[in-house]
Copies of this chain bind each other. A is one copy, B any other.
Amino acid sequence: MADESGDEQPKYLQIADALKAAIELGTYGPGARLPGENVLAPQYSVSPMTARRALRMLTSQGLAESRKGAGFFVQAFQPIRRRGIQRLARDQWGSGKSIWTADESRPLDVDQVTVEELIPPAHIQRMLELGNGETACARSRRYTLDRRPVMIATSYLPYSLVAGSAITQADTGPGGVYSRLADLGHPPVHFREEIRGLLPTSQEAAALEMSLERPVLKICRTAFATDQRAVEVNEMTLDSASYVLDYEFDA
- Taking Cβ atoms with an 8 Å cutoff, the residues of A that contact B are 1-2, 9-10, 13, 17, 20, 57, 60-62, 79, 84-85, 88-90, 112, 140, 142, 152, 154, 178, 187-199, 201-204, 206-207, 212-217, 240, 243-251
Most buried by B among A1, A152, A244, A250: A1
In the complex, A183→B89 CA distance in Å? 34
Known contacts A1-B152, A57-B199; 15 further A-B pairs (Cβ under 8 A): A1-B112, A2-B203, A9-B202, A13-B212, A60-B199, A88-B251, A188-B251, A191-B251, A194-B244, A196-B243, A196-B244, A196-B245, A197-B215, A197-B240, A213-B213
Structural contact, B213 and A85, CB atoms closer than 8 A: no
Structural contact, B192 and A247, CB atoms closer than 8 A: yes
Q: How far is the CB of A237 from chain B (nearest CB, A)?
A: 8
Contact residue among B88, B154, B195, B216 (Cβ-Cβ distance under 8 Å from A195): B195
In the complex, A189→B251 CA distance in Å? 5
Given contacts A2-B203, A142-B1, A197-B217, contact A190 B248 (CB under 8 A): yes
Structural contact, B217 and A198, CB atoms closer than 8 A: no
Q: How far is the CB of A124 from chain B (nearest CB, A)?
A: 13
Given contacts A191-B249, A247-B193, contact A1 B215 (CB under 8 A): no
Structural contact, B85 and A249, CB atoms closer than 8 A: yes
Structural contact, B201 and A251, CB atoms closer than 8 A: no
Chain B hits for A1, CB < 8 A: 112, 140, 142, 152, 154, 203-204, 207
Q: Which B-chain residue is minimally distant from A121 (CB atoms)?
A: B24
Chain B hits for A197, CB < 8 A: 197, 215-217, 240
Q: How far is the CB of A66 from chain B (nearest CB, A)?
A: 16
In the complex, A140→B2 CA distance in Å? 10
Q: How far is the CB of A30 from chain B (nearest CB, A)?
A: 16
Structural contact, B190 and A84, CB atoms closer than 8 A: no
Given contacts A2-B203, A88-B251, contact A244 B152 (CB under 8 A): no
Chain B hits for A88, CB < 8 A: 249, 251
Interface pairs (27), CB distance under 8 Å? A1-B154, A1-B203, A1-B207, A2-B206, A10-B202, A13-B202, A57-B199, A79-B196, A84-B249, A85-B247, A88-B249, A88-B251, A187-B251, A189-B250, A190-B251, A191-B250, A191-B251, A192-B248, A195-B217, A195-B245, A196-B240, A197-B215, A197-B240, A199-B214, A213-B213, A215-B215, A215-B240
